[in-house]
Amino acid sequence: MEWFEESHHAYWRQRFKIDRVLFHSRTEHQDLIIFENRAFGRVMALDGVIQTTERDEFVYHETLVHVPVLAHGQARSLLIIGGGDGGSAREALKHPGLERIVQVEIDPSVIDLSREYLPRHSDGAFDDPRVELVFADGARWVEEASETFDVIAVDATDPIGPGAALYTQAFLDACARRLNRRGVFVAQAGNPLDLMHDQGQELGRIGDAFADVAYFHATVPTYMGGPMMFSWGGTDPAIREAAPDPAAVPAGLRHYSPAVHRAAFALPAWFLEPALAAP
C-alpha cells in the first residue's frame, strides 16, 4: 500500500503518502494503522479515518482543552471521553488547577500503541497521578457514573464504529447531568460540511441537552477540508462570552492564545447554514 486514502465520504477523499507502516492491525474495537508520512510525521488512522498526526495535533488538542478550561476559569475536574493518543491529557496537565482528570477510552490498544509510536502525544500524561484512566465505552460510563465535572471534552472518532454511541441524544443528556454548576461540554464535530450533511441535527440535539449551545473552530490541515468544528454545550452563556484570563494561559503553547480563543467562536455563516453552501 503506497497511499492511505480516507474513504468515509462517498464523494470526497484525501490521501496521505505512506512512507513506512509502523503498525497495522485490527484491535478489539477498530482497524488501527500508524504510518510515517514526510509532510505530517507519524499519522494514526482508525477505521480508515485519520485521527491525528505529529505535525499539527497541537492545534486540535490545544483548542479542545484550553478553550473550555480557560473559559470556565476555575475548572478543577475534567472528563475526557476517548482521546486515546494522549494529546488531550497532555494539554490538560498544563493547568495546575485541574486536580482530577478522568479519561474514559474504549480501546486500550489505542493508548498502548500511541505510547509506543506517538510518545510525544501523551508525553508521559498517562503516568501522571492526576490522570485516571478508565477503559470503558464513554456513553455507557457517563450514563452509569455519579461523579460530576467542571469540563467534559469529547475527543472521539466520528460517528462510525465505537464512536457512534457518542453522537446520540442519550449521551448528550447524560453528559449534561455530569456537569457541575457552570460546567462546560465540548466535542469534536467534524468539518463544517460534515456538520451540515452528516450531523446536521447536532446543533438541535445539543440544544435540547444544554442551556447554552455554540460552535467554535480551528484550522487543522490534517482533517478533511481544514476547518474543524467543535460543539459547545454550556450551563450559562456568560461563561462562553467571558474573556479568558491571559495569566492562566499555560506557557509554550503553539496555537492557543486569548485572541485565538475569541476568534474561534467567530464563524462564517455558511459553517452553520447548509443552504448557504449547497452544491
Element housing 65 (H / E): helix 57-72
Q: Residues, the chain, total?
A: 279
Residue of 80, 70, 121, 71 lying closest to 100 (CA atoms)? 80
155: annotated active-site residue: yes
**248, three cell numbers:** 492562566
- Binding of ligand SAM by 51 (CB under 6 A): yes
Residue of 217, 231, 236, 241 lying closest to 71 (CA atoms)? 241
One-letter amino acid for residue 226 of the chain? G
**Number of residues in contact with ligand SAM under rule CB under 6 A:** 24
**Site map 76..95 versus ligand SAM, x via CB under 6 A:** -----xxxxx----------
- Binding of ligand SAM by 191 (CB under 6 A): no
Q: Strands, DSSP E only, in 118-246?
A: 131-135, 149-155, 179-188, 212-219, 227-234
**Cβ-Cβ contacts under 8 Å for 247 (sequence gap 6 or more):** none
Among 16, 40, 60, 149, binds ligand SAM (CB under 6 A): 60
Give the residue with the Cβ less far from ligand SAM, 107 or 150.
Answer: 107
Restricting to residues 113-152, which ones interact with ligand SAM according to CB under 6 A? 137-139
CA dist 142 and 135 (Å) reads 13
- Binding of ligand SAM by 106 (CB under 6 A): yes
In the block, cell 447536532 appears at 202
The one catalytic residue among 56, 85, 150, 155: 155
Among 37, 122, 151, 162, binds ligand SAM (CB under 6 A): 162
- Binding of ligand SAM by 160 (CB under 6 A): no
Shortest Cβ 244–ligand SAM spacing (Å): 22
- In the complex, the residues that contact ligand SAM under the rule CB under 6 A are 51-52, 60, 81-85, 104-107, 110, 137-139, 155-157, 162-163, 165-166, 188
Q: Which residues are catalytic?
A: 155
